[in-house]
Amino acid sequence: MANVQKRPNGKWRARYRDSNGKEHARHFDRKVEAQRWLDEVTTSIVTGQYVDPQSARKPFKEYAEEWRRSQPHRPSTARAVEQHLRCHAYPAWESRTLGGIKPGDVQSWVTSLTSTHKLAASTTRTVFNTVNAVFSAAVRDRMIPLNPCTGVKLPSVPRKQIVPLTVAQVRSLATQIAAPYKGLVYLAASTGLRPGEVFGLQRRHLNLARATLTVDQQVQQTKHGVFVGPPKTDRSYRVVPLPRMATDAVKAHLKSFPAPTQQDWLFTAPEGGPVAYNEFMKRVWRPACRKAGIPDGVGPHALRHHYASLLIKHGESVKTVSERLGHTNAAMTLNIYTHLWPDSEERTRAAVDCAYADRPDEPAQEVA
């Protein structure tokens, strides 16, 4: 029920009942204003865009915590999201309501993350994405009509050009690293697997007869321990062809460090079980890099970049490289490795010259 009535004091009252039977009312000086407001509310109800005015008064922190606890995040993501909100969002908006945070407030907050709190541009964007997800959920839940994060300008992230390891560096690293992980270096360098995907390999993932490797899990380490979970994205589930170098390295590894059952880990920690990233970096990777003369700061992910650079150098398409790496899409691959693709200036010149080579231009005829 919705109507407009004139009150004894001369004001016009517009009222309606929402889908839950709750009555809402506002008072206006003119009847036309009351009717216009009522028409707008009625339209929003009919189109499914109605938002209860009371919903927007919910505290931002209260809603954000409800949202956070309901998300199916993997442990590492859940930890990052909790930190983003606790360290950067709640100090700014803990006492604010969902509807009380405007686009200008979000813009000022984003700017302060880099100017005041000195966060890197990439970190600022990551924190913003978490807050944007909260407000997007609030819009879907009909808590607020619009997302105040829409249109906010973010700091630009300087693009870092990947400098892949050379073949000589990979060989040197494989020579210097502890014996149980020599095969890991060659396998990662020849398949492009993420470190967690390499650590998550079990005997069942190898098909040496067909020279293929299946990726369907990864090992991650958080403050709560080491756990086995699904790959990073849906596209990360993949079957990767094994070059001869990889199959030879795996066979040599299995000869020295057998994995008798299909459930045995291909590479194990010294105390048994899957390799834990932090301990691997401290005890194995960094000492090997120093011996091999590889600069500090280079991590196991460099072997993935090395693999990508080899595919690009030998003419593989963006699509193929993206599929082998398990990227979400080809655009991501280009964004990371575009500088590694050969320059096409000469090929574009040759393409045009070739098209016109057999039909040279004839001089124009003058009109008398």
**Tens of pLDDT, residues 274-318:** 999 999 999 999 999 999 999 999 999 999 999 999 999 888 999
Q: Mean pLDDT, the chain, as a whole number?
A: 88
- pLDDT for residue 328 is more than 50: yes
- Give the C-alpha distances (Å, rounded to integers) separating 169 from 60, 339, 341: 51, 21, 21
pTM for the whole thing? 0.70
Higher pLDDT, 16 or 218: 218
Percent of the chain past pLDDT 90, that is, above it, reads 60
Name the percent of the chain lying above pLDDT 70: 91
Q: How high is the pLDDT of residue 278?
A: 93
Q: If you average pLDDT over residues 151-155, what whole number do you get?
A: 95
Q: Which three-class secondary structure string do you get for the chain?
A: CEEEEECCCCCEEEEEECCCCCEEEEEECCHHHHHHHHHHHHHHHHCCCCCCCCHHHCEHHHHHHHHHHHCCCCHHHHHHHHHHHHHHHHHHHCCCECCCCCHHHHHHHHHHHHHCCCCCHHHHHHHHHHHHHHHHHHHHCCCCCCCCCCCCCCCCCCCCCCCCCCHHHHHHHHHHCCHHHHHHHHHHHHHCCCHHHHHCCEHHHEECCCCEEEECCEEEEECCEEEEECCCCHHHCEEEECCHHHHHHHHHHHHHCCCCCCCCECCECCCCCECCHHHHHHHHHHHHHHHHCCCCCCCCHHHHHHHHHHHHHCCCCHHHHHHHHCCCCHHHHHHHHHHHCCCCHHHHHHHHHHHHHCCCCCCCCCCC
Has residue 368 got a pLDDT over 50?
no
- Average pLDDT value for residue range 71-94: 91
Report pLDDT for 161.
82
pLDDT of 235 strictly over 60: yes
pLDDT digits (tens, 9 = 90+) for 170-205: 999 999 999 999 999 999 999 999 999 999 999 999
pLDDT for residue 44 is more than 50: yes
Residue 77: its pLDDT value, please? 85
Band of pLDDT at residue 363, cut at 50, 70 and 90: low
- 68 or 53: whose pLDDT is higher? 68
- Cα separation, 213 vs 239, whole angstroms: 6
| pLDDT value of position 321 | 92
Most confident of 14-23, 216-225, 305-314: 305-314
